[in-house]
Structure formats: C-alpha cells, structure tokens
Structure 1
C-alpha cells in the first residue's frame, strides 16, 4: 500500500534549510570552543610571563639582600605554577597539555625546586652565579611559553578554518535557499501570473500545471477550477445574451405595439376611422394574413363587420353580418376567452369562407369592457399557429385598448349631444323669455289695432302703431344680440380679448360707453368656463340695454385670489327683493343657471335710481400649478385697465 505524503511549503523550506542551519550551529559551537581554548592559552601565556617577572624580582631581592618580601614572592610563584598546572575555568586559564608542554613544564618545576633550594633556602653569601641561574631559569619558562604559543597557533589556524567553513556554509545555504525559493515559490507564482494574464486576454483555456502538493498546488487546483467555471460561463454567455436580447426585443416590440395602438385610439375621431386603423395595426403586430373587427349588438346575437384587412372581397361581402352560431366567428360571449380554432378541412368550417380563402387557423378575441361585450376581433392565418402566452397577453391588451377607445368615442358623442341639448335648452329659454314675449305683446297690439280700425279712432291707431314699431325694433335687437352672443368664441388662454370684443359690440349696438378694468394676475380659465363667463357678461349687458337706461357701463375683472367679474351701470336700478324673478328680468334666471354649471357664485346688487351691479365669483384654486408659469408670465403683460 502506497502512502502519498503531502508536504506543505513550510515543511519543504524547513527540510532544505535545516542541514545548513545545523551545520552553522555546529560551526558556531566549534568556533566558540576554539575561542575559549585561545582565551585559556593566552591567559596561560600571561601567567607564565608573570612567573618570568617574578623570577627576576626574586633574583633582585636576593642580590640586594632585601629578603623581607621574598616569602610572598615565593608564595605567589608557587600559586602561578599551581594555576598553570590545574587551570582556572573562571578566567578562563588552562594549558593544552601534550608531551612537549608537559616536559617543558616539568623542567620549569625542577628548575624552580633547584633555584629555590640554592638561592632562597640556603641563603648564600656569594651571588656570583645568581644572574646566570636566573637567566637560565627564565629561559626554561620561555621554552614553556613557546610550547603554549605553538598550541595557540594551532587553535588560531583551526579558528580561521572554522570561520571560512561558516562563510562557505552561509553562501551555500543562501544559494540553496534562493534556488528552492525560486523552485517552490517564484516559479509557481510566475506560472499563476501568466495564467491570469491569459484569462484577462480572453483565453479561458489557460491552466496552471499541478506539480506539487503544497499550498501552491492547492492554489493551482483552485485557479484551474475557477478557469473551468469561467470558461463554461463564457460558453453559455452568448446564448444567454441572445436569449436576453430576444426577450428585450419582444418586450420592446410589445411596448411599441401598445404605444402605437394607444396613439391611434387617442387620435381617433370616429368609430370607422378607429376600426380601420386598428385592423391595419393589428395585422402588422400579429403578422396575421387577415383581420376582421366585428361589432356585437346588445344581445350578442348579431355581429356586424366594422372593418377588415387582408380578407377576400367576397368573404367580406358574405360576412357583413353574421349571427351567433353561424360560424366560429361571431360566437364569443361575455365570458369567452382567447380561442385558437384550427381549420382542418372543408367540413370543419361551417360557412366555408375561411377554408376557401386558404386559411388554416382562426383566432378569436372578445372585445369587452367591464364584462360588457362590445364585439370581437378575428385573426386569420394561412398556416397553423399557436401564440405564446406573451403574444396572447399582448393581443388581449390591444383588444382592451380598442374597447376603451370605442367606449370613449361613445361617451364623447353622448357628452357632445348633452352639451348641444343643454345649449338648445338655454337658447329656447332665451327665445321664450325675450322674443316670444315681444311677439305675444305684438299679437295683443295687432288685436287692439283691429279694434281701433273698426272704430276709426285715429289717435288710438297712431298710439298702437308706435307700440308695434317699438316692439318690432326690440325683437330685432334681441335677435341681433342673440346672434352676436352665440358667435362669440375664446381662441386663446387669455379671456381679456373676448371681453373687449364683447364690450365693443355692445357699445356699437347700444351706444353706451363701456370701460374694462383688469386687476392682478391669475391662472388662465378653462375654455368651457370662459364661454359660460362670457354668456353671463353678455346677458348682464343685455339687461343693461333693455332696462337700465344707463349711459355708462363698467366691467371690473379681479384675478387674485380668485377670478371675480363685476358688471356695473349708472342706470335707474331696481329692487332685487321684489323684481328679481319678475318676467321682465328673466335674464337673471338664465345667468344663475350658467353660474351653477361652473360652480360660480352669482350676486345681483341694485338700488333704485343708483344703478345695478352683477357679480360673478369663481372658486379660488387650492394650489397653484408650476406648469402654468408660462401663462402667468403672459398675463403679467396685460394692462391694468382699458377703455373701449
């Protein structure tokens, strides 16, 4: 059984560096030991030199007769001999003993014994040979010192050898460590760097060779795994990008289709135009070969074709109106959903028009709004199709937009009809309250004229003719006034030009001087509000012309904090409490109705012989809109007052 041993990077470096560290350690120990030997030998040389000095001192003491210090000198010499012989580790001091050193030390001991017996113990009186014996004794000590120095020379040479070996070991260790560092660290790092650069350049085939089991081997395995993962992701990236691009294009086309249909629905002014444009757009969006849009009656039994695109002419003629159950088309109900109908053969098509035209698939979609069925859309294809869920959702959304557009057209038509009906009602009221009464008055005067002619009363006839002439002129004036009033339009956001035109026409018709005063700046009025305000002002001016006998009329307009219109005159006035709803002042009732339509407050003030005042106050806006800044700037150029 083979056991694979995995060495990490630290263990490898330790295995390489340990022998060199051990060698350096042993060399250091040897150097220290040799240095210790050299220190001991040098101390021994110094001690032997002291012995030589001591011998000369003892010789001097003996020769001069000053022997009182001689015992101390002998004792000190004996101590030096004992120290050399035994050594002193504390100093350190020791002698490297060998045969030559031991022999020379023995000679020194013997000479010391003879020298001590002859010159110290015997106490001679003649000192003729003292100097020669001392010199001979000192020479023997020098020989002993020379033997020690020979050993010191050997230790010194050995020390130099150890130092050189240490230097060589350091150099060899550094070389080996550098090589192993390159082999185990720098080379794997370089390979990893090269692989990373290849990855950065887009070469995902780059790999790092797995040559070791250390940390760099683990790192190489991790890098190779990462590179494989990146390579697999990159290979699938193009597919994912293409998939996302197709999805985005689909969503973009969907939004574009919704925007196109929304735009044509908002711009459509009639049901026919809406149907024609919708079928063309739907054919392009759905890529259908034919499209039919059918309107369903309230009971859902009859389905009338509103528009068609891409269908044969004979098929359009035959299916102008179909009944529920006649064919697959026209069979939707308020609860029907998206249906895909395959046309396999002639027997599968009840009316056979689709089969004869070469269509193989029909898709029916209900057009409904809030569960109210308004019709259906039929899509015809020459091939077998089955729309995706996204395509089905888009087609249903388009049909929902179509239903909203059809409902908006219906509501707009009802709104226009209601507005026309209301204007006709107001016109009928005004005709009844003005011209009809004048005509009734003329009818009475004609009957009185007949009676006066029968009696041949010339005075009465002349008086009645004057009344008839006044009534005709008043009726003529009322008709002209109505024509002028209903021709008035507001073409700009600013109401001031329309007010000035109204006063100008009134002054031309009645000969009464008018003055227009504009104060402040306010937000422009909506067109429908402007029309109602103009009609109220015109009715107030009409009452001035008919009843006030005034010579001056003022129209004061205040724009802040809300719009306020006041028509004043200097006429005869009336009593509002008693005359307001009198038949001679029916215009006040018409003005009240118009004010209620725009949520305005109408106030009539008058004092007999001091003129009248009609005031219309509109609701103040709660929050000014910053989007109307351009309009406010335009209004700032309006003059404060003008005289017409």
Structure 2
C-alpha cells in the first residue's frame, strides 16, 4: 500500500491554497486600487500645475516679485511631488513611456520658461502664449496619466473577472475533491454497513490509503471480521445448544413414553416389552432385553426382548446370577459396558455366537433392592457417554417404579377383593345363613311335631318355614341388588332415588328423599360405600322396624350428612351386642370406617322409630384418605 497524505493534510493544503489565492487576489486588488488612487491624485496635482501656471502668468504681470517667487517655488514642489510621489496620500504617477516623456518635456519647458522669466520678464501677450503652450503640454501629460489609469482599471476589471472564474473553478474543484476525498469514502462505508445489516458479514472495504478513511476502513474490516467470527461462534453455540435441547427433548420424550407406558400397561409383560422397545431406540442398540430377578436374586428370567435371535432367547431364558457378566449378583450390580471377548470364563457364548461385540448391563433397583436387569446388545464397539449413562439410569428408575406400582396395584386389588369378600360373607352370614339356621331349627321342630302327632305344632312349624323361606328369598334379592349397585353420575342423588324406588317396590312402604345444600360431588368409591350403608339401613327397616314411612335426608354443606328415618317400633342400640348379626350394624360400621365417616344410631324402643346418621369428613369430597373414627 502506497503512502498518501492524510485527509487532514489534504484538507489543510486545500484550505491553505484557497487562502493564499484569496489573500493574493485581495492584495493585488488593494494594490491596484492604491495605484489608481495615486494616479487620480497625480491627475489632480497636474491640474494644480495648470492653475498655478495661469496664476504665475498673471502674477508676473500684476503681483510682486515675492509673490511670484512663492508661486514658482510651489510649482517646483508640485513637479517634484509628481516625480517622487507620496505614499501617504497616496499619490503616484502611473509611469509609462508616454507619461515619462511628457513629464521630462514639462520639466524642460518649465526650466526654460523660468530662466527666461528670471532674465527678462515677458510681456503680457508673450507670457500668455507661452503659458498656453505649457498648459497644453500639461494636458498631454494628464491625458497620458489617464490613459495609464484606464489601462490599470481595465486590468483590474479583467482580474476581477478572472477571480470570479477562479472562484467558480475553485468551487467545482472543491466539490469534486470533497466527493473524491470525503463523500465517496463515506458512501462506500454506508454501502458496506448496509450489506452488513443485510447479513453479508463477509463484506470488506479496500484500504487504499493510510489516511483517516483508510484507518476507518481498516477499523470497519476488523469490526466486520469480529462480527463474522462472533456470528460463527454464536451459530456454533446455537447448533450445540439446539443439539443439546433436542437431546434433552429426546430424553424427556423417552422418559415421558416410559411413564405413559407405565400408566397404560396392565401387566408386567406389556410393561417390559414396551420398555425394551423404548430403551433400544434411545440407546441405538441392536437388541435389548429385560430380565426379572427373583426375591433371592439367584436367577434372572427373561421377561421381554427385541432383536435377539430365537435361539439366544431360548438358551438364556433363565440365567443363574454370576454365571455371566450380564447376570450380576446384587451386591456387585452396577451399570457396566462389557466387551465380548473370546474364551472368557464369566461370559456365556451366546452373545459372541450371535455376533454381538458389546453388552451394556443396567441394574434395575428400588430402595437398594434389585428387581431386574436391562441388557443392551451392540454389534459394534460402544463407548457410553455421561448423558447416555444418566438417561439409562433414569429409565431404569422409572422401570423399577413402574414394576413396583404394578405389584402394589395387584396387592391392592387382592386386598380389595379380600375385603369385599369378607363383607359379602358377613352379609350372607347376617341374612341368609341365619335364616337357614332358623329354617333348620323349624325343620327339627316340624319333625318332632310329626313324630308326636301334634297337628297344631306341625302347622305352626310349617307356617314358620314358609315365613323363613320368604324372608330368605327377599334377602337373596336384596343382596343381588346391593352387589349390582353402581354409580353412573357424579351426583349421588340419582342412585339414592333408584335405591328408594326399589325399596318401595319390594316392601310397599313409601320412601322419600330430601336433598339440601350445594357441594362438590363424592368420589365413586365413597358413593359406593354410602349407598351400601343406606341400603343396609333400609334392609333393617324392612326386616325389623315395621315402619309405615321412610325418609332419607341428605345435606351437602358444610359436610356431607346422610340420615335414614323410619316411624317403626324402634330399638335400644345399647341392648344390641357389637357382634349382633340381626340388624347389620357391624357391616355398616365397617363400611363407614373404610371411608373415614362417623356412624350414629338414634333410636328408643318406644315406638317412635329410628334414625341412622352418617357424617362424612370434610375431605371426603377430595377423595383423600382419612383416619377412621369410631362409630357410635
């Protein structure tokens, strides 16, 4: 790059040149004007010479010699002033060949005239003639001066025209130089900035000089390079972040799918088969398997697999713990990447025979208990990254939780079935079994009456048998209704009305339902227990109360409250043993305890009926488990 003057130097040189030209033109104009003023003063002074000549002619004839001498001296002074000039006035004779010739002629004639006048004063006529001749020479001198002044004036006008032309040319040159030196570099910089704004970060400016614009162009290039490098670095980071986010999304999606699979799977086989597919896809494995470990962690049973040869599935259906590196004992179980090597005592030959080169063993633990093992098979060398390690551990934890959830659900289902069977057994024992026991006793009494030939006792036993059979039949129908009870709506009102309608149809006793207040609906499991309690209370009314009317009152607020009123004979709850099987109190208490409700019976054996009151806790509408209070 060649060295050039800086922009400041260029602008300073241009300004200096313009200043010098302006000062020179102004100085020249002032000098010419000064000369013109001096020439004008010289013309005036020459005019004074003409006046003085006429006065001397008259003074010679009429004035005294002293006065004449003063006029002569003044005339000499004026001639000398014209010759030397006076810068202070200013007064200058614009000397030229003509003005100089006329001046010398005037001086010569004046000397001759003065010498003649000094020797012999002329007469008036002669003096006037010679004075006129001298004045004519003075007029020629003045005319020569005026010609010279006219030339200077014409020259000044021409110079002024030249200065105007020079000013125009200077303005044009200044605009051109401004465009070349300032505007064009600025426009190039603006265009480069616009390209950078459009995203063309590879834009660069050519550095043509080392002046200010060259430094600015170099700075722009450095800035553009920095922006381009930052943009590339940002793009790289964005790509890395995007890849990381995509990887995280894939992990979250995998975990979500495992969680969804755990929620949807109804059996251990379905859970593990779906998990095998997910973990194989996430890890990019060629095959995968899940092995269940028994309680003693002595054997691993193959639950599900994908991608394994059928022969390998058959041969490794059950692996003894410690017989292979992928069937780890619980005390040393950890996630491991196992390369398949030939002639290893701790490796079964099936993986090597199937063409696998690497096996990854992932133990499935829950609370330090080894539940299963996930095995991944690769037909290539595999190095596990930290994020893959964390993902597999998370998926293994989800699998362990899901397996434990399935086990807990099965246990809960078994416990619920056992509890319901117990309640059914109590209801059967409370109703049908007792009725059958009563019928058995009546059969024995009937046999005795027949043997004795007691007709009255026989007829009474037959009547009791008929009544017992009818009651047993009614109990069976009532139990069937109880077992088929379901809640179809969120509100329990519909189920209660259906229950009361069946009660009226079976007994002919009018039954009414009164609902009050507003509140959240009860969960289905709570509704079932409440309906069974109400049905049991109605069953007791049918069997023992002899009522003419039944009223069921329900309050939704501030807490759920159910009351079953009858106008029957009533009874004294204090006289009924807790294990009584004749009024179903034990069954109602058990159902109330299961939902954390409070059961109370208000009745007296005075014919004013009975009232069964069931109060639910405030959290019953939320379906939260509560501590069961004691029933009274």
Instruction: Sort the TM-score into its range (normalised by shorter chain).
Output: 0.7 to 0.9
* Aligned counterparts, 1:554-593, within 5 A: 554-575=551-572, 583=580, 586-593=583-590
Shift of 1:538: 1.0
Assess, with a 3 A threshold, how the Cα gap between structure 1 residues 569 and 40 changes in structure 2: closer, same or farther.
farther
Match of 1:21 in 2: 19
Asked if the contact 1:332–1:376 (Cα under 8 Å) also holds between the matched residues in 2, the reply is no
Shift of 1:130: 14
* Aligned counterparts, 1:132-531, within 5 A: 149-150=146-147, 152-192=149-189, 207-228=204-225, 247=244, 249-333=246-330, 336-348=333-345, 350-446=347-443, 449=446, 456-519=453-516, 521-531=518-528
CA RMSD of aligned residues (A): 4.8
Q: Distance in 2 between matches of 1:553 and 1:48?
A: 158
Given candidates 532, 544, 549, the residue that maps to 1:547 is 544
Q: Distance in 2 between matches of 1:373 and 1:193?
A: 71
Asked if the contact 2:364–2:397 (Cα under 8 Å) also holds between the matched residues in 1, the reply is yes
Asked if the contact 1:517–1:555 (Cα under 8 Å) also holds between the matched residues in 2, the reply is yes
Given candidates 615, 618, 627, the residue that maps to 2:616 is 618
Shift of 1:415: 1.1
Figure out how many residues of one structure are paired with residues of the other and give that number.
596
Shift of 1:510: 1.4
Assess, with a 3 A threshold, how the Cα gap between structure 1 residues 576 and 314 changes in structure 2: closer, same or farther.
same
Shift of 1:93: 6.4
Shift of 1:370: 2.5
Match of 1:641 in 2: none
Asked if the contact 2:34–2:90 (Cα under 8 Å) also holds between the matched residues in 1, the reply is no
The alignment partner of 1:583 has SS state of coil
Deviates more, 1:601-610 or 1:131-140: 131-140
Assess, with a 3 A threshold, how the Cα gap between structure 1 residues 208 and 287 changes in structure 2: closer, same or farther.
closer
The alignment partner of 1:374 has SS state of strand
Assess, with a 3 A threshold, how the Cα gap between structure 1 residues 38 and 543 changes in structure 2: closer, same or farther.
farther
Question: Which digits, 9 at most, give the CA deviation of each residue in 1:401-432, with x for residues without a partner?
Answer: 21111011011011112212222232233334
Normalising to structure 1: TM-score of the pair? 0.76
Asked if the contact 1:288–1:379 (Cα under 8 Å) also holds between the matched residues in 2, the reply is yes
Deviates more, 1:218-227 or 1:442-451: 442-451
Asked if the contact 2:364–2:374 (Cα under 8 Å) also holds between the matched residues in 1, the reply is yes
Shift of 1:50: 11
Shift of 1:600: 3.1
Question: Which digits, 9 at most, give the CA deviation of each residue in 1:87-127, with x for residues without a partner?
Answer: 9999x7655586689889999x99xx9xxxxxxxxxxxxx9
The alignment partner of 1:376 has SS state of strand
Q: Distance in 1 between matches of 2:601 and 2:512?
A: 19
Assess, with a 3 A threshold, how the Cα gap between structure 1 residues 44 and 534 changes in structure 2: closer, same or farther.
farther
Assess, with a 3 A threshold, how the Cα gap between structure 1 residues 487 and 203 changes in structure 2: closer, same or farther.
closer
Shift of 1:396: 2.3
The alignment partner of 2:330 has SS state of coil
Question: Which digits, 9 at most, give the CA deviation of each residue in 1:245-276, with x for residues without a partner?
Answer: 65555444433333332222221111122223
* Aligned counterparts, 1:53-202, within 5 A: 94=91, 96=93, 149-150=146-147, 152-192=149-189
